[in-house]
Amino acid sequence: MQVSVNGRSHEVNVEPDTPLLWVLRDVLGLTGTKYGCGISACGACTVHVNGEPVRSCSMPVAQVEGKRVTTIEGLSRDSSHPLQKAWVAEQVPQCGYCQSGQIMQAAALLAKNPKPSRGEIVRHMNGNICRCGTYNRIIASIQRASREG
Amino acid sequence: MNATVKPGFNPSRRRFLAGAGGLTFCVAIGSDGIHLLSEAQANTASRTMSAWVRIAPDGMVTILSAGAEMGQGSMTSLPLILAEEMDADWSKVAIEWAPADAAVYGYAMNNGRAMAIVGSRAVMLYFNQLRLAGAQVRKVLIANAAEKWGVAPASLRTEPGFVVDPASGQRMSYGEIAGFGAVPAELPAVDKSELKDRRQFRLIGKSVPRRDIPAKVNGTAQYAIDVRLPGMVYATARHSPVHGGAPESWNEDKAKSMRGVIGTVRLPDGVAVIADSLPHAMAARGALEVTWKEGRAEGFDSEKALAETYVQVHADPSAKRRTLDSKGDAQAAFASAAKTYKSEYRSDYGYHAQMEPLNAVARFSAAGDHVEIWEGTQAPDVSRGRIAKALGFKPGQVTLHQCYMGGGFGRRTLGDYASEAALIAREARRPVKLVWTREEDMAHGMFRPQSFQCLEAALDPDGKVTGWTHCVVGDGGVLLATGIKIPYYQVPHQHIEARGVPHGVRLKHWRAVGHVFNVFAIESFVDEMAAAQGMDPVDFRFQRMSISPRARAVFEKAVQMSDWKARRPEGRAVGISISERSGSLGAGVAEISLDRATGRIRVHKAWVAIDGGLVVQPEAARANIESGIVYGLSSVLHERVTLKGGVVEQSNFHDYHVERMADVPEEMHVAFVERDAAPSGLGEIGNPWVAAAVANAFYRLTGKRLRHMPFTPARVLEALQA
């Protein structure tokens, strides 16, 4: 099966029902995408498929054939995406485990809505759990990235 | 495929010491803390010493960090303390993990040494040792420069990364000194009086960016779950659904017939499945049918225990009890009281819900007599010992590679899942990554105990609180008792006790554990008395509770920050409370509103004033306390574990609710009350005050008391109708 991840095409030899998460992590070695719940309830595994945020733990790899998958590793080459810079400036991560998913979720928002209100940010981000409770810093970072581009 | 263990972790002593040239300072074993010694001394010592600080000729300073990193920032703040006293240029400091050897890298505690980062101890317990070590390094650097220049060491000063001679204006970088200098066989002693005055600090108290953050925004931070080794296979486990049970038999043939499954392994209290991929292992776990031997928690009904058993135990004059604190004559105070009060409170079990499901990677040597473990652990020394014990090894046969933790909160101090990974890898004869599913992490969780509490107070004719009794009933020994003492209220006659009721449910430390429910009860009770006396709750504490000066100071700050007596918008109210934890004190105010139709409480604003002594990294500490507030709110409003028939009823984030973005206060304000004292713990002072502050605000809004946490919508509606 062919999958396109971060602009590169890969031939992967897995069953079509294998969750995309495990193909990314264990076949392609892209371990920035995390396993948190396995049931689309926490958002730690969020990646983009054709620019839309999806929970890779619950998406069979067969469904992304012919589509573009982007992971945290592909968001920028050098942590230069405005959200990554804002995340550092606001010192968002604590344990950090959920943050790849948070950033990917936020990146999908800004791609469609460059100037989201606080309410729009909260609605868009509410499916992503941060157990360290960095939510307000996440909001501040999205606003900063929106401002500073 | 190449091993993808990322560089920068677990420096071997060889790598650390092998650099050409430079100055190396090793760690000596002392009875009272970390001491440095020279490499020459280290190499002739009876046991292998490890390096602690190394200065390379290019000026790079490498400092080991013994602080496990679970998000609290210790891996940055501990080396920073040492860097401060040696006057290192922080931009040239590299940080590496210290090996899992408490005898060398541990802090002094209870006549022994430990590395466990629990109870917000890291900065508090390493502070003095690291300062002295840094000052020693600085002294050696100055001595080398003085010799080179032919001047007296006492005439020299340091600036970040340089020794400076004020008389001649000459400067010499630490890197230059490392190129020619020597570390004397006997390191110079440093007296506490030679440490910097706090006004001279360049790093402590000044907030530098955390070193772990850049790797946490691009996916490169390495958690144990990310470790990949050549030939590695995958495992997951199913444990006895009734805690304390053990597997008798299981359908191994069925499991083995499934896609990719390599085999199954018996664990002390569960069964592991090994497969060629995690999804294959997880699918086979789902198909496992295990016959279990009866577990200790067989038949346990948590709600029944809380509603009935604990009440009976509390009412039983012959029940076994443990006195936790006692002063004066509480009985006499009640006998002569002008007024008495009595209230009861309850709390449910809580689950850590760290975002990274428990996992570890294990790899044996070809001869099978040595194992490497990759684990994110709060206590690498304990973990190493437990793994060795599980395998029948000596600790020297275990190398533990510390990794970042995707949350700890007290769960990750036992090495239990790492021991399982080791047992599985030994049977598999291949490197194994063991990952518990979220469902397993919850079903086989180790919880903050549930509790029933009864408090009584006696007031004298002047309305002063002279007698105080507090009885907590539940399971969990010390876990039940933390935070129950009230040193900040100098009530003359007190009796505080715990009554244990064992259930066989797995229990564990949990971000301030007992504080969460004990402080809820104490501070709700004080608020009830204030209301009954028709007094402002702060005035009541100041006038009727003989409050300590430190506690008064944090209350005054919280009152000022929150403009406590100001009118709130329609439909809102504020509540206040205080907590102590790990030497710190924090008073906080919560402003809430209520949806009376749904029973949903919303916290809009939170203010907390903290006395944590000297704050080494104020920005990181502030973030940690914000985290505590959210963690506290989560436990107060949502989190609830129940057991029926000895089995945990919740299974994942759809039925174990934690705080989400839409739930958090729009404003959280953290202030530090300045005090000239050594650092105390800050990682857990943020959450215990929250429950009572919210409950007390609820009372001001509705005239009703919330007596059972979490304050779920159902309980709120029930309270409103009461």
Under CATH, which architecture does the A82-148 domain have? Orthogonal Bundle (1.10)
Residue B371 phi, psi (nearest 5): -130, 140
Q: Are residues B608 and B687 in the same domain?
A: yes
Q: Among A31, A42, A94, whose Cβ lies nearest the Cβ of B653?
A: A42
pLDDT classification of B169: cutoffs 50, 70, 90: very high
Q: Are residues B110 and B60 in the same domain?
A: yes
Contact A96 B221 (CB under 8 A): yes
Q: Are residues B282 and B167 in the same domain?
A: no
Contact A138 B661 (CB under 8 A): yes
Residue B683 above 80 pLDDT? yes
Contacts of B564 (CB under 8 A, 6+ apart): B538, B558, B574, B576, B589
The pLDDT of B39-45, averaged and rounded, is 64
Residue B211 lies inside a defined structural domain of this protein: no
SS3 (DSSP) at B132: helix
Residue B214 lies inside a defined structural domain of this protein: no
Mutate to test the interface with A, among B278, B358, B433, B661 (most CBs of A within 10 A): B661
What residues pair up with B239 in beta bridges, in sequence order?
B270
Nearest CA in chain B to A82: B217
Residue B234 lies inside a defined structural domain of this protein: yes
Q: Are residues B130 and B240 in the same domain?
A: no
Q: Are residues B560 and B489 in the same domain?
A: yes
What residues pair up with B271 in beta bridges, in sequence order?
B238, B266
Contacts of A34 in chain B (CB under 8 A): 223, 225, 355-356, 406
Contact A87 B624 (CB under 8 A): no
Cβ(B589)–Cβ(B561) under 8 Å? yes
Residue B42 above 80 pLDDT? no
Residue B4 lies inside a defined structural domain of this protein: no
Residue B660 lies inside a defined structural domain of this protein: yes
Contact B356 A36 (CB under 8 A): yes
Over residues B441-474, the pLDDT tens digits come to 999 999 999 999 999 999 999 999 999 999 999 9
Contacts of A131 in chain B (CB under 8 A): 353-355, 407, 409, 631, 658
Residue B500 above 80 pLDDT? yes
Output the average pLDDT for chain B: 93
Closest Cα in chain A, distance from residue B215 (Å) = 9
Cβ(B268)–Cβ(B275) under 8 Å? no
Over residues B59-85, the pLDDT tens digits come to 999 999 888 999 999 999 999 999 999
| Beta-carbon pairs below 8 A across chains A and B | 181
Residue B328 above 50 pLDDT? yes
Over residues B373-428, the pLDDT tens digits come to 999 999 999 999 999 999 999 999 999 999 999 999 999 999 999 999 999 999 99
* Four-residue CA torsion sign, B510, B511, B515, B518: negative
Residue B251 phi, psi (nearest 5): -80, 70
- Count structural domains, chain B: 3
Domain boundary among B410, B426, B443: B443
Contact A97 B223 (CB under 8 A): yes
Over residues B177-216, the pLDDT tens digits come to 999 998 888 888 888 899 999 999 999 999 999 999 999 9
Give the DSSP H/E element, type plus range, for residue B61: strand B61-65
pLDDT of residue B302: 98
In B517-666, which ranges are E strands?
572-581, 584-595, 600-611, 643-644, 647-648
pLDDT classification of B110: cutoffs 50, 70, 90: confident
Domain range enclosing B248: 230-295+353-443
pLDDT of residue B7: 40
For residue B29, which amino acid is it? Answer: I
Q: Are residues B616 and B687 in the same domain?
A: yes
Q: Are residues B371 and B320 in the same domain?
A: no
Q: Are residues B418 and B452 in the same domain?
A: no
SS3 (DSSP) at B693: helix
* CATH code, domain carrying B291: 3.30.365.10
Would you call B242 an interface residue with chain A, using a CB distance cutoff of 8 Å? no
Over residues A15-53, the pLDDT tens digits come to 999 999 999 999 999 999 999 999 999 999 999 999 999
Would you call B438 an interface residue with chain A, using a CB distance cutoff of 8 Å? yes
CATH code reported for the domain at A2-75: 3.10.20.30
Q: Are residues B368 and B477 in the same domain?
A: no
SS3 (DSSP) at B521: helix
Residue B208 lies inside a defined structural domain of this protein: no
C-alpha dist (Å) from residue B157 to B136, B153, B195: 14, 9, 13
Residue B605 lies inside a defined structural domain of this protein: yes
pLDDT of residue B50: 61
Q: What is the ipTM of this complex?
A: 0.99
